[in-house]
Amino acid sequence: VSGSLTIGEFSRLTHLTVKALRHYHDVGLLEPAGVDGSSGYRRYDTSQVATAQLVKRLRELEMPLPVVRAVLAAPDGATRNAAIAAHLERMERQLERTRDVVASLRALLAPPVPTGHVELRHVEAALTLAIREHVSRDNIARWCGTAFPQLYAVAERTGATVTGPAGGIYGPEFFESGAGEVTAFVPVEGGASDGDVRLHMVPAVDLAVLLHLGPFTDLDITYGALGSYATEHGIAATGPIREYYLAGPDDVADQSGYRTEVGWPVHPGEGD
């Protein structure tokens, strides 16, 4: 049993708008069962209703059309379900991120936390195991989540001794354009390069350093305080920014326990 439907009838059956159906036809996502050669009238079939309903559900979950297309083209149920599950997981991560931002918004609106003490510090060059890559802001959390374990693993494999807290070096474009070169490093004695992980000398710098307590989501607050300090004292220099992870995800379970030193480049010897 099947029945033929005009686009309007199919729209009422599936609760997809006529405009959406024409768009899905244009992009080849949901082809009508037939198209009249002379009039161009689209013809749908009742057998297409189930597919249309699936498309509607996935779009309501803001699944991008290329991904929807992949779901529809899945050769079997397992592949299809995996694609859907992956999307739901993306949504879950985004939801968690939203929760963090809401918390951080409350913190921002609350009476301002007394900002810590800015320290001017000369940092010596140091031997490290490091990974350097072009990373976008959106992916930085996941990237760090794989990079640092990798660094510690190489340290162990190559017999290196870790001599201090891990850190990151962020090129200006990372902030100014939303993506840029990022170096993750762990200071070591001994050890050796291994694949992407290189034995690398991190250069000396003069930094204004401010300790950030709590989630990474709030880091911009500390950046603001630190950068304002450096600017107002006329000591700000250009160059990459450093972060030192004194206590992070590997050390404490709760984000509120994170301790991060933010290092802003300054001109040497101009301390206060």
Partner DNA sequence: TTGCTCCTCACGTCACGTGAGGTGGC
Site string for a second copy, 210-229 (x = CB under 8 A): ---------xxx-xx--xx-
72's tokens: 């529809």
CB of 97 to DNA, least distance (A): 16
Q: Which of 262, 177, 171 lies closest to 211 in space, CA to CA?
A: 262
Judged by CB under 8 A, the stretch of 10-18, 33-41, 114-122, 192-200 that binds a second copy is 10-18
Of these partners, DNA, a second copy, none, which one is at the site of residue 15 (CB under 5 to 8 Å by kind)?
a second copy
Q: Which of 101, 30, 96 lies closest to 59 in space, CA to CA?
A: 30
Chain residues in the site for DNA (CB under 7 A): 6-9, 17-20, 22-24, 36, 38-42, 59, 64-66, 172, 176-179, 238
One-letter identity of residue 259: R
Comparing CB distances to DNA, the nearer of 128 and 217 is 217
Q: Count of residues for the chain?
A: 272
Please enumerate in sequence order all residues whose Cβ is within 8 A of that of 182, keeping only pairs 6 or more positions apart, or say none.
Answer: 132, 133, 134, 135, 140, 143, 168, 169, 170, 171, 174
CB of 67 to DNA, least distance (A): 8
Site string for a second copy, 59-98 (x = CB under 8 A): -xx-------------------x--x---x--x---x--x
Comparing CB distances to DNA, the nearer of 56 and 132 is 56
DSSP secondary structure string for all residues of 221-266: HHHHHHHHHHHHTT-B--S-EEEEEEE-TTT-SSGGG-EEEEEEEB
CB of 82 to a second copy, least distance (A): 12
Q: Note whether 13 binds a second copy by CB under 8 A.
A: yes
DSSP secondary structure string for all residues of 109-168: HSSPPPP---EEEEEPPEEEEEEEEEEEGGGHHHHHHHHHHHHHHHHHHTTPEE-S-EEE
Q: Which of 62, 60, 80 lies closest to 70 in space, CA to CA?
A: 80
Given 23, 25, 43, 49, the residue binding a second copy (CB under 8 A): 49
Judged by CB under 8 A, the stretch of 13-21, 23-31, 145-153, 202-210 that binds a second copy is 13-21
Please work out the total of residues on this chain that contact a second copy, with binding judged by CB under 8 A. 55
Cα 128 to Cα 143: distance, rounded to the nearest angstrom: 18
Q: Which residues bind a second copy (CB under 8 A)?
A: 1-5, 8-9, 11-15, 17-19, 46, 49-50, 52-54, 56-58, 60-61, 81, 84, 88, 91, 95, 98, 101-102, 104-105, 108-109, 172, 175-178, 219-221, 223-224, 227-228, 231-232, 234, 236, 241
